């Protein structure tokens, strides 16, 4: 998988289209969740894009400290359903953590994880903080890295 890290202004129109399409396919259609994906935060994010043979297969967006949480944060972690077997989720998370360390000069990272992915994020150094909660009707937990 080829990884690129871009600001919003660096994204091409095609990349932005592909990002919105992937997020919609997984978070809205696959998870049957109606929510406002285009929340105005994309302009403030670093976008971590994973492509295989020119196709978007994995994505996250990363934020500086103070935008979502006191710490830097990672969100909208997504891999196409067809490609999940290829461990692209692990690759995109490693790249996202590295991007935060490089661009924001911090090790402290928080994320709002879908509860069923707790083990996945734990494998990347994150631990649950507090009780679970509903976000857009889906059980979530707050997780912070333990690095």
Q: Residue 36: what pLDDT?
A: 87
At residue 78 the predicted structure's pLDDT band, cuts being 50, 70 and 90, is very high
Task: Please determine, for residue 147, whether its predicted confidence score (pLDDT) is greater than 70.
Answer: no
2-108 belongs to CATH 3.40.630.30: yes
Contacting residues for 9 by C-beta, under 8 A, at least 6 apart: none
For the stretch 13-72, pLDDT in tens is: 999 999 999 999 999 999 988 888 999 999 999 999 999 999 999 999 999 999 999 999
Tens-digit pLDDT profile for residues 107-140: 999 999 999 999 999 999 999 999 999 999 999 9
Q: What is the dihedral of CA 106, 134, 118, 40, to 10 degrees?
A: -40
């Amino acid at each position: 998988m080829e990884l690129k890290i871009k600001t919003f202004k660096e994204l091409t129109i095609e990349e932005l289209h592909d990002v919105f399409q992937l997020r919609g396919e997984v978070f809205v259609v696959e998870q049957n969740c109606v929510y406002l994906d285009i929340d105005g935060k994309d302009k403030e994010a670093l976008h971590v894009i994973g492509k295989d043979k020119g196709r978007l297969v994995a994505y996250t967006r990363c934020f500086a400290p103070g935008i979502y949480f006191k710490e830097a944060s990672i969100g909208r972690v997504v891999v196409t359903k067809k490609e999940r077997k290829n461990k692209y989720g692990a690759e995109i998370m490693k790249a996202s953590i590295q991007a935060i360390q490089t661009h924001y000069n911090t090790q402290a990272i928080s994320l709002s994880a879908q509860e069923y992915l707790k083990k996945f994020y734990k494998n990347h150094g994150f631990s649950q903080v507090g009780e679970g909660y509903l976000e857009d009707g889906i059980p979530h937990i707050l997780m912070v890295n333990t690095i």
